[in-house]
Structure formats: C-alpha cells, structure tokens
Structure 1
Amino acid sequence: MIKAVIFDLDGLLIDSEIVSYKIYKEILNQFGHSFSIEEYAQNFSGKTEVKNVANLIDTYNLPWTVEVGLDNVLKVEDKFINEGIDLKTGVKKLLTYLKDNNLKIAIASSSTRDRALTILRQHNIVEYFDEFVFGNEVEKGKPNPDIFLKACDKISVNPEECLVLEDSESGIQAAYSANIPVICIPDMKVPNQYYLNMTKAVLSSLEEVIYYL
C-alpha cells in the first residue's frame, strides 16, 4: 500500500526544461551561436547544471571556467524565475488528491532549496509538501539513491511504501537503487528503454497518477 509520494521538481512538477533551453539559447546567442530545441533535447535534457555548463563550454568553446559559466547561467535564470515558471499539467489536482487521501508528500530534487521554494511559493503549493530534500543536503546526488532514502526517512515511511515520480534517467535509477517503486512521466526527453524497464509505469501526465493509485 502506498503511503507517500516523492516528487522530483524540474521537468516533473515545473516546466523548467523549456526554461533551461531558453537560458542556454540566450547565452549562446551572445557569442553568436544558434541553439535548437532539438539539440537541447538530445544533449542537455535531464542532466545536471554542472554537466550542461561544462558541455556548453566544451562544445561552443566559451571563454569560461565551469564556475564562471554557472554564475552566468544563474543570473539569466533569476530573470526567468522572476517572470514565473509554469507548473506542469495536473500538479494541483494530484497534490489535492494526495492530501485528501492523507498520503505524505515530499520533494527530492537536485535543485537548491532557495530556488525551489521561490518557484513553489509563486504557485502557492509549498504547503502541500510535508518534507523537502535538496541536492546539497546529501553526499551523493542522483543517480545514487541517497536523496530518496533521506526523503523516506524524513517522512517516516519505508521505501517500499513510497512512490517516486520522475522524468529523468538519473532520477529513475536513483529510485530503483533505493528500492522505491517509480513512475516515469517523461518531459522533453523520453528516457532510454533500459531505464523505463525499472519503472512500474510510464504515464503521460501527473493527472494519470491518480488512477494508478
């Protein structure tokens, strides 16, 4: 019996993949480079900011260290966050259903706490969540299981009684390694079949999770 649901954030609760694409596109345009949504989906979607910035620097020969690149990405991202990042379809409907049925709700995200809570507060949904775990609060991030195991511990629910909702390969692997059932709701990039085989289901929207439960 499922007693708790643990959400990823980026690409799952919030439509941040398209924002990441716009950030990288804006930065590359400053250096005279074009950048397509197809290239983003193929080479950047679902990966950490550090890996993506390193990839941008290497691929486009940008005159930055990774640290400088991250600072520049965050400056552009702040603008988009202030403008607002959309929720994915079905978020509030699913959260309301979980609360009405007394399930614990947590977020386990590679994001930073300040960034995540700022976005969630913009949509007035912080109060739905019982606990949060962020990337800098665990020793090893996804695809290691630490972040999900810590979330289980914080909500006092056994891993096998939780359900993880993820969109990325690294998140699926992390949940699977933690022995937590995981459902994939793909975002811009559909995970490789190797990872989809680790899931209990692949759904097209968060609303469909209600019928799975």
Structure 2
Amino acid sequence: MKRLTGVIFDMDGVIVDSEPIHYLCDTKTLEDYGVEVDFDEMQRYIGVGNEAMWSDLIKRHQIKATVEELTKRQDYYKKELFGKDSIVAVRGIESLIKKLHKKDIKIALASSSPKYFIESILKSLDLINYFGALVSGDEVTRSKPEPDIYLKAAELIGISPVECMAIEDAAAGVIAAKAAGMYTIGYKNPNSGNQDLSPADLIVESIWEVENRLKAILID
C-alpha cells in the first residue's frame, strides 16, 4: 500500500455481527423448499452474493425454485428476524470508523447484501453518514470473490485501489479485495466460521488490532 487514503469495509461480520442471523434466514428459506443444510455447508457462501449462492444451492439440491423466489423468501425472513435488538456492531468498529472520518480518510462499503438491507443496518447503528459510498452485490455483474464490488467502491470515493485498505471476514471477500489491488485485512470473526483468510496482508482477531496498526494515522 503506497499510502492510505481510503478504507472499504465489508458489512456482515465486520461492521455488524450478523452472520448467525443470515445463516438462520438462509436455512429457514431452504427448509421451506424441503432442503436441510448445516453450517459446514453454508459457511462457504459467507460473503458471496445471493445470485451465486442460490444458483449453486439450486444445482446442489435440485431445488424446484428460481433465484428470485428464494431471494424473496430470504428477504421475508430478514425482515422478520433482523430487529433493532438483533443488530449489534462489532466491538471497536464504531471507534475505528469515527477516527478514520476525523482524519479525512474516505470510507466506503462493499457488501454482498442488498442495498435496502445495507442502508437499514447502517441507519440502525447511526453510521450511515460516515460513508462516502455504499455498493451492494446487486450493483455489480460479478459478485465476490471477483473484484468488481471493490473496484466500484474505490471509484465512487475517487481513490485508487492501491491506496485503499479493505477489511473482510470472509474468504471470498479477501480474494476479491486482493484481486482489486487493495491492502487487505482479514478479521477472524468466530461467527463467520472457518474462513481461509491466508491471502490477506494482515490477519487480526479484533477490530482494535486494526486501530492499533493505524496509530500513526489515527492519533488524535
């Protein structure tokens, strides 16, 4: 990384500890179509967009439904299960975002979740105004692990990818950010399962570690 002028965050598992609820939404959706899965199978889809996830699951389990039908059912469960009380920010993330903003580091979000869901989560956490751009998986042709979503986020905040740092909790996201040319931090969130974060430039077990690494930039 030549210099840090932008930070691009993943959302689920990085900003909000939402992966367990996503897992419940996905498994309840599949159960409605007579399919039972376990966490070992579903963790491979953490960080992957709906189109790619549902398309693969339809083939694997011969599900008699379209991607659109499964997504609509999934959205039903998201609206039912993601209440105000279930939205919990990852420890340290609010402090990091606010300090980056104070230092005029441009901030964006690159999430495979749909736009309405991203906006809802960030508004609930009172963080949405810190972001210069929000890019959802619905807005790019190729989802993670392809780099498209990260490249678009960098473009929208006017920062070269090589001057951006990405923070990810999922293998697919780490691969995407690295492919975009970004310095990539892999955050080992226990709720994100056994993710291979080894391609990341740095692996941390807490968001506080990220802030400590950036002390020279974030110092008050």
TM-score by length of 1: 0.84
Alignment match of 1:102 (pick from 101, 104, 108) = 104
Distance 1:34 1:151, change over 3 A: closer
What amino acid is aligned across from residue 141 of structure 1 in structure 2?
Answer: S
What amino acid is aligned across from residue 148 of structure 1 in structure 2?
Answer: Y
Alignment match of 1:90 (pick from 86, 89, 92) = 92
**Runs of 5+ consecutive residues of structure 1 not aligned to the other structure:** none
CA distance, structure 2, for counterparts of residue 2 and residue 45 of structure 1: 27
What amino acid is aligned across from residue 212 of structure 1 in structure 2?
Answer: R
Distance 1:118 1:65, change over 3 A: same
Which residue is 2:152 aligned to?
150
The answer to whether structure 1 residue 204 and structure 2 residue 205 are counterparts is yes
| Alignment map for 1:124-163 (pairs within 5 Å) | 124-163=126-165
Deviation of residue 88 (structure 1)? 1.5
**Runs of 5+ consecutive residues of structure 2 not aligned to the other structure:** 215-220
CA distance, structure 1, for counterparts of residue 158 and residue 49 of structure 2: 28
TM-score by length of 2: 0.82
What amino acid is aligned across from residue 45 of structure 1 in structure 2?
Answer: I
Which residue is 1:67 aligned to?
68
Of all paired residues, the percent bearing the same amino acid is 29
What amino acid is aligned across from residue 125 of structure 2 in structure 1?
Answer: H
Distance 1:104 1:37, change over 3 A: same
Which residue is 2:218 aligned to?
none
Question: How many residues are aligned here?
Answer: 209
CA distance, structure 1, for counterparts of residue 8 and residue 187 of structure 2: 13
CA distance, structure 1, for counterparts of residue 111 and residue 103 of structure 2: 24
Alignment match of 1:185 (pick from 184, 187, 197) = 187
Q: Spell out, residue by residue over 1:144-199, the C-alpha distance to the aligned partner (whole angstroms, 9 max, x if none).
A: 2222122222222222211011112221112111111111003323433xx51x32
Distance 1:144 1:98, change over 3 A: same
Which residue is 1:6 aligned to?
8
Which residue is 1:46 aligned to?
47
| 1:5 partner SS | strand
Deviation of residue 50 (structure 1)? 3.2
Deviation of residue 92 (structure 1)? 0.6
| 2:82 partner SS | helix
Alignment match of 1:16 (pick from 10, 18, 22) = 18
| 2:117 partner SS | helix
CA distance, structure 2, for counterparts of residue 115 and residue 158 of structure 1: 27
CA distance, structure 2, for counterparts of residue 4 and residue 101 of structure 1: 11
